[in-house]
Amino acid sequence: MAETFEETAIVLRSVPYEERHRVVTALTEKHGKISALARNAIQSRRFGGTLEPFAAATWRMGETRGDLYHLDEATIRKDFAGLRKDFEILSLASVFNELMLRLAPEREPCVDLFKLHSNALAELEEKADAGRALEPRILLALLNAYLSKVLQWNGTQPQLLRCLGCERSLLDFPADARLRCHISVACWTCPDCRGVKPDSATDYAPGFQHQFFEATQAAIGDFYIGLSTPIRKVPELAQGSLEDQKLLFALMESLLIYQVPGFDRAPLKGLRFLPEITGTFGNAT
């Protein structure tokens, strides 16, 4: 009999397997993204609501042959059912799940991603419980902050406080100043330094469309806030307008595609349900 172990898992996806079982993919701290077979999960009530998407539960599981653990028991810690009170919030939470399905390492520790994901879900649930719809600007600010922290986890260290050319501070420019962001090194140049290119400019990936990207000072400022503050502070601190957030989202997509292995151009499915926040960017580039 294989040994078992316990760990808290947040369900990312749950699919039926054969007639009676489920295969559940979840995010954990110590084992990253894992998939487990929950036998007889469909008819019996032994797993309760623990296998629903977003549910956080303590799983007792063991190794099995192949890629799946077998799930013996699951005890609910937090069901995040409040997310279902608001369609936009639920859609954004689904986008977060999709990102972890795409990016989280399999069977490797990812403490930072786990904390980010659970804090992001907690923040969304709190807002849904409060019964106040989130403005599109704030929904997108949360998505951008989440993406900025994924970049940071990946080891990308954006240099956002100073112009690459003249080293003037971000704060020296008005909110609507157009700054040129260089995707390969995640830094920016001001309007006076248009000719300055990062040293690694020759390393632009062949065929990569956005060697640089124009964004407003407000968008870069919110990028900095996303990187440097807990995600739960973002709704009160984000400054940029919806248009700024859209620019920042397009910049984030370019940075992630360029910087993070495994992040491809396939659009995030959950964004279909949030047309007002992605607008023209809802179609993949």
d(Cα 181, Cα 212) in Å, to the nearest integer?
Answer: 5
The single residue among 133, 193, 227, 242 that binds Zn ion, judged by CB under 5 A, is: 193
Residue 166 binds to Zn ion (criterion: CB under 5 A): yes
**E strand or H helix at 245, and its extent?**
helix 242-259
Residue 181 binds to Zn ion (criterion: CB under 5 A): no
The single residue among 12, 57, 68, 163 that binds Zn ion, judged by CB under 5 A, is: 163
Number of amino acids touching Zn ion (CB under 5 A)? 5
Nearest to 77 by CA among 124, 10, 31, 32: 10
Burial class (CB in 10 A: 0-12, 13-18, 19+), 274: buried
Pick between residue 146 and residue 173 the one whose CB is nearest to Zn ion: 173
Q: Which stretch binds Zn ion (CB under 5 A): 28-36, 60-68, 183-191, 210-218?
A: 183-191
Residue 284 binds to Zn ion (criterion: CB under 5 A): no
Give the side-chain half-sphere CA count within 13 A for 284: 8
The single residue among 120, 190, 252, 260 that binds Zn ion, judged by CB under 5 A, is: 190
Residue 165 binds to Zn ion (criterion: CB under 5 A): yes
d(Cα 146, Cα 96) in Å, to the nearest integer?
Answer: 8
d(Cα 91, Cα 249) in Å, to the nearest integer?
Answer: 16
Q: Which stretch binds Zn ion (CB under 5 A): 33-41, 86-94, 158-166, 271-279?
A: 158-166
Residue 221 binds to Zn ion (criterion: CB under 5 A): no
Q: Applying CB under 5 A, which residues contact Zn ion?
A: 163, 165-166, 190, 193
